[in-house]
């Protein structure tokens, strides 16, 4: 879903090729909140379009097996719906605080529409901004960190599995 068609609320409106949409079921059991769209997402206009996103999909599937939950619905949204780039180059950068804060209203529109039982904050930057806004949430490391430090994958996967059992399965 696009909670803010044509939004011009922050400087990213001037550098974006196009906004991305959040994607998945609405409503959904679990909302994954990720940092920002990447280059592949921006081209397609949808999240999870790049090869690096496979880690997030994999950890979700592994946690579902670990939790004994073959079926649940998910939705994925970004903290900013326009891709932040460094000096209008092709290089990604972390969203600036004013950009995140301007886009918070849009994220909260998604939260209201999705009504998740569990929100998963993906990465430290997302957790820093949203852990107080969304207290019924858990955090996992960002996929790029897990790719660099595979020894931390299982701990994060089990954290996610515990969150699924507690908030979605209700055990
Ligand atoms: S990042 Fe968010 S607030 Fe900024 S222009 Fe895009 S949709 Fe609007």
d(C-alpha 22, C-alpha 159), whole Å = 24
Question: Which of the two residues, 135 and 93, has the higher pLDDT score?
Answer: 93
Query: CATH number for the domain including 116?
Result: 3.40.470.10
With CA atoms as reference, report the closest residue to 20 among 79, 100, 90, 73.
79
pLDDT confidence tier of residue 88, bands split at 50, 70 and 90: low
In a domain? residue 30: yes
Say what angle helices 153-163 and 54-67 make with each other, to 10 degrees.
60
With CA atoms as reference, report the closest residue to 67 among 13, 127, 120, 124.
120
In a domain? residue 66: yes
In a domain? residue 40: yes
Residue 116, pLDDT above cutoff 60 = yes
Measured from the Cβ of residue 97, the count of other Cβ atoms closer than 10 Å reads 10
Whole-number average pLDDT of the chain: 93
Mutational test site, ligand 1, from 34, 99, 104, max ligand atoms within 8 Å of CB: 99
3-state secondary structure of 160: helix
Q: Which domain holds residue 89?
A: 12-169
Question: Which of the two residues, 89 and 58, has the higher pLDDT score?
Answer: 58
Cβ 141 under 6 angstroms from ligand 1: no
In a domain? residue 7: no
Contact present, 40 and 141 (Cβ < 8 Å): no
Contacts of 32 (CB under 8 A, 6+ apart): 56, 60, 74, 75, 76, 77, 119, 120, 122
Of all protein residues, the one whose alpha carbon is nearest to atom 4 of ligand 1 is 10
pTM score: 0.94
Contact present, 35 and 95 (Cβ < 8 Å): yes
Cβ 129 under 6 angstroms from ligand 1: no
Residue-wise pLDDT tens digits, 2-32? 999 999 999 999 999 999 999 999 999 999 9
Residue 60, pLDDT above cutoff 90 = yes
- 147 Cα: distance to centroid of ligand 1 (angstroms): 28
Preceding omega of 27 cis (within 30 degrees of 0): yes
Cβ 4 under 6 angstroms from ligand 1: yes
DSSP conformation class of 46: B
In a domain? residue 22: yes
In a domain? residue 1: no
In a domain? residue 4: no
In a domain? residue 21: yes
Residue 171, pLDDT above cutoff 60 = no
How many domains does one find in the chain? 1
Residue-wise pLDDT tens digits, 126-170? 999 999 999 789 999 999 999 999 999 999 999 999 999 999 987
Contact present, 10 and 102 (Cβ < 8 Å): yes
């Amino acid at each position: 879903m696009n909670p803010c068609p044509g939004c011009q609320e922050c400087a990213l409106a001037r550098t974006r090729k196009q906004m991305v949409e959040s994607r998945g079921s609405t409503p959904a059991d679990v909302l994954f909140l990720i940092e920002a769209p990447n280059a592949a997402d921006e081209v397609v206009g949808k999240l999870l379009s790049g090869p690096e996103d496979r880690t997030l999909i994999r950890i979700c599937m592994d946690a579902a097996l670990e939790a004994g939950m073959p079926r649940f619905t998910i939705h994925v949204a970004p903290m900013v719906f326009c891709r932040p780039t460094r000096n209008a180059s092709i290089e990604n950068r972390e969203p600036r605080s004013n950009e995140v804060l301007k886009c918070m209203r849009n994220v909260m529109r998604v939260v209201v529409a999705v009504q998740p039982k569990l929100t998963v904050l993906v990465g430290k930057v997302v957790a820093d901004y949203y852990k107080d806004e969304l207290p019924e949430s858990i955090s996992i490391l960002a996929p790029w960190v897990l790719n660099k430090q595979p020894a931390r994958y299982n701990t994060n996967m089990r954290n996610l599995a515990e969150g699924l059992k507690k908030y979605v399965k209700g055990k």
